[in-house]
Structure 1
Amino acid sequence: MSAEELKKQGNAAFVAKDFAKAVDLFSQAITSSETPNHVLYSNRSACYASLKRFGDALQDAKKCIEINPTWSKGYNRVGAAHSGLGNLDDAEKNYKKALELDSSNKAAQEGLEHVQKTQQSRQQQPDLGFGQLFNDPNMIEKLKQNPKTAELMKDPQLVAKVLQFKSNPQAMGTEFLQDPRMMTIMAALLGIDLSMGGENQPEEPAKKPEAPKPTEKSAEKHAEKASPAEAVKPQAPQPESTTSAPAAAPENEPMEVDEPEVDSKAAADAEKAEGNKFYKARQFDAAIEKYDKAWELHKDITYLNNRSAAEYEKGDYEQAIKTLTEAVEQGREMRADYKIIAKSFARIGNAYHKMGDLPKAIDNYQRSLTEHRTPDTLTKLRNCEKELKVRETEAYIDPEKAEEARLQGKDFFTKGDWPGAVNAYTEMIKRAPEDARGYSNRAAALAKLMSFPDAIKDCNSAISKDPNFIRAYIRKATAQIAVREFLGAMETLDVARSKDSELNKGANVREIDQLYVKASQQRFQPSDPNETPEQAYERALKDPEVAAIMQDPVMQSILSQAQQNPAALQEHMKNPDVFSKIQTLIAAGIIRTR
């Protein structure tokens, strides 16, 4: 059975005044609840108070306000328990705290009035000398150990009454006469044996020296002045005494305190459900009205989150942010679930995103992830950061300043200030990210700094911006040769030659051919001058292009024929594809010419 179902049954048992059963049901609900629930402890405290078990009631009441220190009604419970124990100063303090949190708390107002009247009544009545008698802090333990009172102290209601008299000796007179058990307790405290002389024989003052030694000097002094019977005769019952017992107040209090709490939550959820229906129907104003009513009935920030969703859909982003900010503040005070607070921050981020305030959106997404990390919020944060970066980049674009940076870079390059040239061309790229010249020029400066891999990256960027930029191909091939990517350099130069022939009528063909020859010659040159022919042959076979040629069945047939008839090779080389492959094998040293 769920904690909520057990709670409902406990409420029903309480209304039926079956307080013991209610205690059991609320105890089961507390055990079944996934998270500590302050209302459950409050309800069980009410049941304990109704059973006059004020010590247990106080313990549960303190647990209630520990879980939710901002809940006004929890302090009602603490005040009622203290009142039942006779601790009127503590009761007054907690009722006042309840009213600080909620000035409309009727139960706290009534409890405070009751406590203050009782305090006033105590001040107006003499205590008949009982104050010092009940002043022993170990009084209850001594009574439990005394054979004459041990059985009596098993009655929790009687113990509560004794504790009440300890804090309010003025109320002792009437109760002393009405309850013979109190006579036995008084005699035990005074050290008098009431069994002497017969049941109906009156006590005589002359016998007071026979009394055993009392535990307190004050009791001994009191015994010398008058007998217990004489002590109570002069004081007639006062009207205030009949209403000053604090134990009566909490008995009816639980129905006033907790039942509205249960009803208000149910009513609030009902209003929320109606609001959800309006929201789905896109009737946002009606939905907001329902969510407002739910919040007024019961303070749960889920209702504020829902209201903000309706305001967001209306396009009222500023109001949604105000609502969600209130949800976060209230949630902090009520110690709401961190997942719900995370949702509030995420929705604030959504609203700022819609308003175009990306820095604030990012800030609130980060706050949300701090509370509770979810993939959806993390994705929104990443996308928002990318969008902000693009926006900042676009805002920085300025063609005029880009041209100034290009000319500055050219001046640095001419003077041999390669780092200065790199910085100037970087600024040009930021100011004109679509201009391929910035990347190509920076590649030239990076190559001077021997940073060839970065130069190749810049050339690739330049080519992606302008596929017909011949100079970018040439600079890329130069950098590839520098890092011994000879095959890649030759492929780059093949593309450069094709585009130069098509677009520039071969204006750069000489430079391209020179780089091609350089790449071809250096491609198979040994790094070790002492390399043997056999080692050179093995190294050449590791080249991917050479390996592919050697594994080609057609080339295998041609090479086989050439060994038998060299003149046949000349005939095959008339084919351009075969010619290129033969040249590669010659450069690699696979075919040796005389």
Structure 2
Amino acid sequence: MAEEAKAKGNAAFSAGRFEEATRFFSEAIDLAPTNHVLYSNRSAAYASLHKYNESLVDAKKTVEIKPDWSKGYSRLGAAHVGLGSFDEAIAAYKKGLELDPNNEALKSGLADSQSAASRSRAPPSSAPPFGNIFQGPELWAKLTADPSTRGYLQQPDFVKMIQDLQRNPNNMSMYLADQRMMQALGVLLNIKMRSPSPGEMEVPETEEEAEAESEKQPEPEPSKQPEPEPEPEPVVLSEEKEARERKAHAQKEKEAGNAAYKKKDFETAIQHYTEAVELDDEDISFLTNRAAVYLEMGKYEECIKDCDKAVERGRELRSDFKMVARALTRKGTTLAKMAKCSKDYEPAIEAFQKALTEHRNPDTLKKLNDAERAKKELEQQEYFDPQLADEEREEGNECFKQQKYPEAVRHYTQALRRNPKDPRVYSNRAACYTKLGAMPEGLKDAEKCIELDPTFSKGYTRKGAVQFFMKEYDKALETYQEGLKQDPNNQELRDGVRRCIEQINKTNRGDISPEELKERQAKGMQDPEIQNILSDPIMRQVLTDFQENPGSAQEHLKNPQVMNKIQKLVSAGIVQLK
């Protein structure tokens, strides 16, 4: 539920609906109050609404929960900048850089904060054109959230223009001829300029819904102190333009691949994704999408190769951890499909575990649990060997004859691992447990023996013996009688019936010591069946009649069900008939 609310918040943030985003992130925090990412996301949403006090509270909570997470200090710095606390912002960005010295977003934030601090200490000057719209952390959030300007943030020359205006807003006149700058002004001033073209829109991932990245602020190139630079030669501009065109072309190929995938036209989808990879090797979604197609086609080796390449390239580029996790999960899924024995599941389990270290995705966790369960089931099947089970059973029998009962139990247990469906082994181990005085274990094995083979008389003799030793004579009698239904001529079962009747009659005659009677009564009162009989209103009336109206009591005894319950109370020592 928390992940679902977070996803809705991310989507709202990306669409620029910041109030809605804060509501969803708040819902997620209520469900998962120790998730630092949720506070980070809500801090960014509050900053976009210019609610910097609330943003600061969430940023502080983020670093409190996860003090070794550099992005938390980026949020903290942005909130301080919004409040005009530039010295605190500088301290926050520096702390983040101690944790992640190569983080470009932190470097840029530090440079901007230092520049803003210098300006705040400088004498007042004439107001720059358009006021302070290029100041503050909300600048990047607005440009990221609007589809018409989001793509520009991938263009180094545009990012440099924005950085220059952050340092010196008076340079605006230098860039007004650039249509991109006009579009950015429209977004920052909330003026409608034009609708974004299809090429500027994000394309969803195949097979899985694309996850919005509200945690990720745009990471422009690091700010530098202005210094005179020669005019770029035409060839440089041409290369940048060509790079932009290649990226745009790659996105179109990906979109075409997505459409082909949905139509189950896998060969065409492969062609489009391959073209996208060749045009732009900095977007690992092309590789993970192609891996998904290979998985559907049953081309597992190709799928794993693409997943490995996506993970390697993603780490080189410091790509979103969720994308890396997706590649690892897809690899684990493929390895699980390829598994033919229990050991084959080990690399699949390892891949799922690595994916979960990148992103705690519920679907990945389920796949990990399924793989571990399948591995365990195969291990049991691979260990199954009736011949070795018989050998272990025979060794257990020899130990039993020599009265080496613990050793016999070990051999019988090993036999059951080799063949868990042999009722003879359960019967033999029940006999061992009885000799060792482990009555509950012996009873459990005897009942399992009867469950596997209801016609196997040994199961009834084992169970009856355990119950007899536990002084549950009425239950033992029932067990022996049930066994005689399966094997009427079994002498061991007949002897068991005789012994039980003798003990029950001794109780009826009161021919037992007071200590034994008290012990049997205490044990009987713990028996749920005895408790149910005593709580039955009809049986309470019957017992009252035995004491006050013996004639009426005799009539009750003609009822087989009542007689059976009375006999259980007698056997338990609760009632004595004289």
Under TM normalisation by the shorter chain, which class is it?
0.5 to 0.7
Counterpart of 1:577? 561
> Is residue 444–residue 455 contact of structure 1 (8 Å, CA) maintained in 2?
yes
**Which one of the candidate residues 256, 261, 269 is aligned to 2:251?**
269
Counterpart of 1:437? 424
Distance 1:562 1:371 in 2: 74
* CA positional deviation for 1:385: 1.4
- Larger mean CA deviation between 583-592 and 461-470 belongs to 583-592
* CA positional deviation for 1:449: 3.1
- Structure 1 or 2, whichever has the larger Rg, is 1
Counterpart of 1:60? none
**Which one of the candidate residues 386, 395, 419 is aligned to 2:406?**
419
**Which one of the candidate residues 352, 356, 378 is aligned to 1:391?**
378
1:81-480 equivalence runs, <5 A: 85=227, 160=228, 246-249=229-232, 255-256=237-238, 259-298=241-280, 299-356=282-339, 357-480=344-467
Distance 2:367 2:501 in 1: 53
> Is residue 478–residue 515 contact of structure 1 (8 Å, CA) maintained in 2?
no
* CA positional deviation for 1:511: 3.8
Structure 2, gaps ≥5 residues long: 1-11, 17-127, 172-218
* CA positional deviation for 1:31: 3.9
Alpha carbons of structure 1 residues 478 and 341: separation in structure 2 relative to 1, 3 Å: farther
Alpha carbons of structure 1 residues 316 and 459: separation in structure 2 relative to 1, 3 Å: same
| CA offset digits 1:408-427 (Å, max 9, x no partner) | 01111111222211221122
Alpha carbons of structure 1 residues 539 and 404: separation in structure 2 relative to 1, 3 Å: closer
**Which one of the candidate residues 140, 158, 175 is aligned to 1:30?**
140
Alpha carbons of structure 1 residues 477 and 369: separation in structure 2 relative to 1, 3 Å: farther
Structure 1 residue 512 and structure 2 residue 496: aligned? yes
Distance 2:157 2:504 in 1: 90
SS state at 1:467 partner: coil
> Is residue 447–residue 455 contact of structure 1 (8 Å, CA) maintained in 2?
yes
> Is residue 271–residue 293 contact of structure 1 (8 Å, CA) maintained in 2?
yes
Counterpart of 1:8? none
* CA positional deviation for 1:587: 4.5
Distance 1:522 1:423 in 2: 39
Alpha carbons of structure 1 residues 504 and 378: separation in structure 2 relative to 1, 3 Å: farther
* CA positional deviation for 1:435: 1.0
| CA offset digits 1:364-385 (Å, max 9, x no partner) | 1111122112222222221211
1:551-562 equivalence runs, <5 A: 552=536, 555=539, 562=546
| Structure 2 residue identity aligned to 1:502 | Q
* CA positional deviation for 1:265: 3.6
TM-score by length of 1: 0.55
> Is residue 401–residue 428 contact of structure 1 (8 Å, CA) maintained in 2?
yes
Distance 2:547 2:167 in 1: 117
| Structure 2 residue identity aligned to 1:30 | W
Distance 1:403 1:349 in 2: 39
Aligned sequence identity (%): 32
> Is residue 134–residue 162 contact of structure 2 (8 Å, CA) maintained in 1?
no
> Is residue 288–residue 327 contact of structure 2 (8 Å, CA) maintained in 1?
yes
Counterpart of 1:494? 478
* CA positional deviation for 1:522: 10
SS state at 2:454 partner: coil
* CA positional deviation for 1:351: 0.9
SS state at 1:441 partner: helix
Q: How many residues align?
A: 395
Distance 2:420 2:164 in 1: 77
| CA offset digits 1:227-248 (Å, max 9, x no partner) | xxxxxxxxxxxxxxxxxxx432
Alpha carbons of structure 1 residues 39 and 254: separation in structure 2 relative to 1, 3 Å: farther
Alpha carbons of structure 1 residues 341 and 48: separation in structure 2 relative to 1, 3 Å: closer
> Is residue 540–residue 588 contact of structure 1 (8 Å, CA) maintained in 2?
yes
Distance 2:516 2:495 in 1: 32
| Structure 1 residue identity aligned to 2:366 | T
| CA offset digits 1:124-155 (Å, max 9, x no partner) | xxxxxxxxxxxxxxxxxxxxxxxxxxxxxxxx
Distance 1:452 1:429 in 2: 19
Distance 2:352 2:373 in 1: 14
Distance 2:532 2:167 in 1: 98
| CA offset digits 1:35-60 (Å, max 9, x no partner) | 9x97377633256679997xx9xxxx
| Structure 2 residue identity aligned to 1:278 | A
Distance 2:154 2:15 in 1: 11
Alpha carbons of structure 1 residues 518 and 418: separation in structure 2 relative to 1, 3 Å: farther
Distance 2:389 2:295 in 1: 41
| CA offset digits 1:85-114 (Å, max 9, x no partner) | 3xxxxxxxxxxxxxxxxxxxxxxxxxxxxx
**Which one of the candidate residues 158, 163, 171 is aligned to 1:43?**
158
* CA positional deviation for 1:458: 2.6
Structure 1 residue 503 and structure 2 residue 487: aligned? yes
SS state at 2:376 partner: helix
